[in-house]
Amino acid sequence: MIKTLRQRRNYVITLAYISLLLLGGCASALPDAKAGDDQHVASGTLVTLDGSSSTGGNNLTYRWTEGSIVLSEGTAASFSYVFPAGKHTITLNVTDDTGTDTDTVVVQVNPPLVASAGSDQVVSPGTSVKLDASESTGSITSYVWKEDGATISTRRSFSRTYSVGRHEIALIVTDDLGDQDDDTVSVVVNRPPQADAGPDRAVIEGTSIHFDGSNSSDPDGDSISYRWKEDGGGVLNAAPSFDMTFPCGTHRIMLEVTDAYGAVSDPDYVVIDVILADQKPPVAEAGPDQTVLVGTNVTLDASGSYDSDGTITKYEWLEADTNTILCESVSFEHLFSRGVHRIMLTVTDDDGASATDEVVVTVRTSMVMPEADAGAGERVSLEGREVLLDASHSSGENLTYRWIENGTLLSEEPIFGHLFAPGTHTVTLVVTDDYGSTDTDEIVIGIVPGGGAGDVHITPNTQQTGRGLLQYAAALVLVLAIAAIAILFMRERSPHQESSYGSLTRSSGEQKPGTQPEKYSEKRPSSKPKSTTEVDDTMIDGRPPVKAAAPEPDLDLSVRVLDESTRTPIPGVIVHLGPETLKTGDDGVVTFAVSGGEQTIDARGIPNIYDGATASVSADNGTVTLLLSSVVRPDHEQDIRLRSIRQAFENRYREVSGYDRCIPGFYRSMVQRQIDYVRTMTAVHFIHGKNTPKEVVDRLISIIEVVSDRISETMVSKRNIDLYATDASGTGGASVCAASQISHDSLADLVSDPSGFVSSRYQNVQQTLSEIDSEITSKTRNMSTLPVTGIWTIAKDLLSDQSGENLDRALRLLITEVLLEHAREMYENPEIVKRMESGVL
């Protein structure tokens, strides 16, 4: 029995083992799908999917699908396909006699890479041009903008100002696969053409008049079209020249020319007087040209005009640049603004004939005429050495500079360096002030062949520079001869002191304590060029050769130039010490190599920013500090404008100060803070500026004028007056409510890079504007927010104004920040809050 059970057990075990073996064999025969690695390809790429790594039994088939779409099916393990842009998840089904297995592969196809640099642009000089690649397509990872092979930006979009001419800007985009595409955009900075309608004329009735505009021109050399038009009438002709007759009377014909890019010139006018055959035209006499100070009334008098065969019946005074009629009387008084005004007088007689005369009125802030100073009258330098020309000692109001050699413009900067060829060069400096007054000065520069050393000053003379150089060489030979004679004389007098001739240094008995002559050869090399004279080792009367005296060791004298008020370094200052001229770096320091003794240092000021300074110091000091004082302050005209803003606001303030002095007083202080901001600007804010202080202040005052007027309108609005009146019984006439001072911390950044200032701060200011808008909305139920809403509205309008240049936009953004800061202060001022709460209806 037991034996039978054991046999049955073994039989069952054997069957189970055989079944497991059979099942294992079937399992190992099931297919295993392998769809391959994921792929990332460019658009249009033929993608091959390969399932040949899959395994299985007999009759293995492959089925490739994307969703419900069958891409390939059959016994072929691979296939090729061009997928559209996007992400594709492909499923592989592998089937044999025993079953099916699946695997997936992802094919990522980039969208087409297309670079788009935008449309070509034509702009006027000084315009900020925005280049934008946002219409480019593809999986772009980098943008590179180039001009003439040089990279100018790596941002998707950027703005910059270009010089006059045509600029071809290339855009290169790269995607995440390293593929690239490019596009080119043209930027043309186009100057408008200039119209020339020809001279005024008087003709007899019936005479055909020839109009010729052929002297009109385009500074960029573009073709121009013409348009002739009579004042108050239609277009007369579109040709460069034409003939026409007119009836008796005065006819004012305008010519405008347009270039190939659509830029239109300022109009030019020609006046044609048509008179009868036996009629004599009148004679116009506008009086002499006048130059006056700002604020002076100018009297213009045409009483010197006459008509020999009749009487003058009409006088017309016209400001030519603005085409504005000033008066129609014989004489009148007028207060002109600062600048140059061309006033045209037209007189008409009783026969209808007319004549014209022009008078120029120049309104200056001072009667100081420009004075050019090109530096020393004559200089000598060696070939290859840059010669620094410095006009910073010229004087005058807002000067412009032109350095000219033989009719060629070298520079329009007050200070510049130039490499001259060997020979004599006469350079003329022409300075021009705001009013067109000019002065000139000349400097003669002699360049000696040979290169190397720096330039030195020589005494000016009236002879040719070449002759001066000859005299200089002759003098040098004479000095050497005298030195040789002196040495011979000393030898005759001291024949036994031969040992002293070996070296003309101090003997050991005469040596100063602590000095070590033998270390002279170890002295630090000087950057200062030196002129040395060597005497050959020649035997004289059998005595040992005479050697030149060892020179005194050079000393380094550092000059540190600082702002007088802030003690901050001033870069870019021209410093003179003897024949050397250096410019301070960012640390405000220059270092000269000197031989000791008393030294005179002259630091030239920076035009319109700093005054200069001069000091005499001992070279042993090692370092000397020069303090330059700021000359940045409102000029006479700007001061008048600031006073006018202040007075106009005061007049409005008096209208409401009887009700309350708190909220109106806060408005008043806001305007005063802006005026103070202008008056307390200093030179340190303009060191790295691209615009002059005058340009910045003029534009800022214009913005403050607008803002002050808007604040005054808000202050005297009826609803605000009602709010003041609500609290009039209270309290607060004596309460002091004032806005905070305006910091100058950001001014230097604004002046040095207006575009960057706007880019870095615009979003923050916009966010602040939105936040205050939300605050106004949330507080409306608890208080009257009118006083704050008025300021917020002014700030919003300033921020939305994108007109003008980068500097204008940056200054408006600055004042917007100030207005928003003061608006928040109104919420935090308990006296103002109390008044706004009492004004809730």
Given this model, what pLDDT does residue 514 score? 37
The phi-psi region of residue 571 (left if phi > 0; otherwise alpha if psi is between -120 and 50; otherwise beta) is: beta
Q: How confident is the model at residue 723 (pLDDT cuts 50, 70, 90)?
A: confident
Which CATH code, of 2.60.40.10, 3.40.50.300, 3.30.1340.10, 3.40.640.10, is assigned to 39-109?
2.60.40.10
Are 785 and 776 in contact, with CB atoms under 8 Å apart?
yes
Q: Is the pLDDT of residue 464 over 60?
A: no
Are 599 and 568 in contact, with CB atoms under 8 Å apart?
no
Given this model, what pLDDT does residue 499 score? 35
| Backbone phi and psi for residue 194, each to the nearest 5 degrees, phi listed first | -125, 125
Show me where the domains of the chain are located. 1-28, 39-109, 121-189, 378-469, 555-628, 636-838
Given this model, what pLDDT does residue 736 score? 60
Given this model, what pLDDT does residue 19 score? 55
Structure tokens given for 35: 């769809």
Sign of the alpha-carbon torsion through 587, 588, 591, 596 = negative
Given this model, what pLDDT does residue 4 score? 59
Tell me the HSE value of 837 on the side-chain side, using a 13 A CA sphere: 9
Q: Is the pLDDT of residue 461 over 50?
A: no
CB count within 10 Å of CB 379 equals: 23
Residues 71-96: tens digit of each pLDDT: 999 989 999 999 998 999 999 999 99
Determine the Cα–Cα distance for residues 299 and 317; give it in Å rounded to an integer: 12
Determine the Cα–Cα distance for residues 568 and 708; give it in Å rounded to an integer: 34
Report the Cα 573 to chain-centroid distance in Å.
20
Are 677 and 632 in contact, with CB atoms under 8 Å apart?
no
Q: Tell me which DSSP letter residue 231 carries.
A: T
CA distances from 100 to 26, 58, 96, 358 (A): 13, 12, 7, 103
pTM: 0.43
Query: In the CATH hierarchy, which fold is given to the domain comprising 555-628?
Result: Immunoglobulin-like (2.60.40)
Structure tokens given for 818: 């100030």
Given this model, what pLDDT does residue 812 score? 94
End-to-end CA distance of the chain: 114
Given this model, what pLDDT does residue 540 score? 34
Are 131 and 169 in contact, with CB atoms under 8 Å apart?
yes
Determine the Cα–Cα distance for residues 117 and 132; give it in Å rounded to an integer: 6
CB count within 10 Å of CB 658 equals: 12
Given this model, what pLDDT does residue 1 score? 52
**What average pLDDT does the chain have?**
81
Residue that is written with structure tokens 């005469």 in the block: 510
Q: Is residue 543 helix, strand or coil?
A: strand
Q: Is the pLDDT of residue 408 over 50?
A: yes
Residue that is written with structure tokens 């006073």 in the block: 643
Given this model, what pLDDT does residue 494 score? 42
Given this model, what pLDDT does residue 121 score? 92
| Superfamily of domain 121-189, CATH level 4 | Immunoglobulins (2.60.40.10)
Q: How confident is the model at residue 10 (pLDDT cuts 50, 70, 90)?
A: low
Are 218 and 208 in contact, with CB atoms under 8 Å apart?
no
Q: Is the pLDDT of residue 694 over 60?
A: yes
Residues 282-334: tens digit of each pLDDT: 899 999 999 999 899 999 999 999 988 889 999 999 998 888 899 999 999 99
CB count within 10 Å of CB 565 equals: 12
Query: Which helix (H) or strand (E) element contains residue 398?
Result: none
Residues 592-601: tens digit of each pLDDT: 888 877 888 8
Domain 378-469 has CATH 3.40.630.30: no
Are 641 and 813 in contact, with CB atoms under 8 Å apart?
no
Given this model, what pLDDT does residue 803 score? 85
Residues 526-536: tens digit of each pLDDT: 333 333 333 33
Query: Is pLDDT larger for residue 555 or for residue 554?
Result: 555
Residue that is written with structure tokens 């020809």 in the block: 198
Residues 764-778: tens digit of each pLDDT: 999 999 888 888 877
Q: Mean per-residue pLDDT for 46-68? A: 91
Strands 121-123 and 180-189: what pairing?
parallel
Given this model, what pLDDT does residue 467 score? 42
Determine the Cα–Cα distance for residues 699 and 681; give it in Å rounded to an integer: 14
Q: Do 121-189 and 555-628 agree at the fold level?
A: yes
Tell me the HSE value of 162 on the side-chain side, using a 13 A CA sphere: 23
Query: Using alpha carbons only, how large is the chain's radius of gyration in Å?
Result: 43
Determine the Cα–Cα distance for residues 807 and 288; give it in Å rounded to an integer: 39
Residue 54 exposed, middle or buried by CB count within 10 Å (0-12, 13-18, 19+)? buried
Query: Which helix (H) or strand (E) element contains residue 722?
Result: helix 718-726
| Backbone phi and psi for residue 779, each to the nearest 5 degrees, phi listed first | -95, -5
Q: Is the pLDDT of residue 459 over 60?
A: no
Helices (H) and strands (E) in the chain, counts: 11, 43
Residue 459, strand partner residues: none
Q: Is the pLDDT of residue 500 over 80?
A: no
CB count within 10 Å of CB 530 equals: 10
Q: Is the pLDDT of residue 61 over 80?
A: yes
For 126-244, where are the E strands, in sequence order? 128-132, 140-147, 150-153, 157-161, 165-175, 180-189, 201-204, 209-212, 224-230, 235-237, 241-244
Residue 836: closest CA among 739, 734, 732: 732
Given this model, what pLDDT does residue 15 score? 64
Are 830 and 824 in contact, with CB atoms under 8 Å apart?
no
Are 257 and 225 in contact, with CB atoms under 8 Å apart?
yes
Q: Is the pLDDT of residue 480 over 60?
A: no
Q: Is residue 669 helix, strand or coil?
A: helix
Residue 360: closest CA among 381, 339, 346: 339
Query: Is pLDDT larger for residue 502 or for residue 26?
Result: 26
Q: How confident is the model at residue 29 (pLDDT cuts 50, 70, 90)?
A: low
Q: Mean per-residue pLDDT for 827-837? A: 84
Given this model, what pLDDT does residue 481 score? 52
List CB contacts of 615: < 8 A, sequence separation 6 or more. Answer: 600, 601, 624, 626
Q: Is the pLDDT of residue 124 over 60?
A: yes
Strands 438-448 and 378-382: what pairing?
parallel
Structure tokens given for 505: 């240094």
Per cent of the chain over pLDDT 70 is: 82
CB count within 10 Å of CB 282 equals: 27
Given this model, what pLDDT does residue 344 score? 92
Q: Is the pLDDT of residue 503 over 80?
A: no
Determine the Cα–Cα distance for residues 112 and 578; give it in Å rounded to an integer: 67
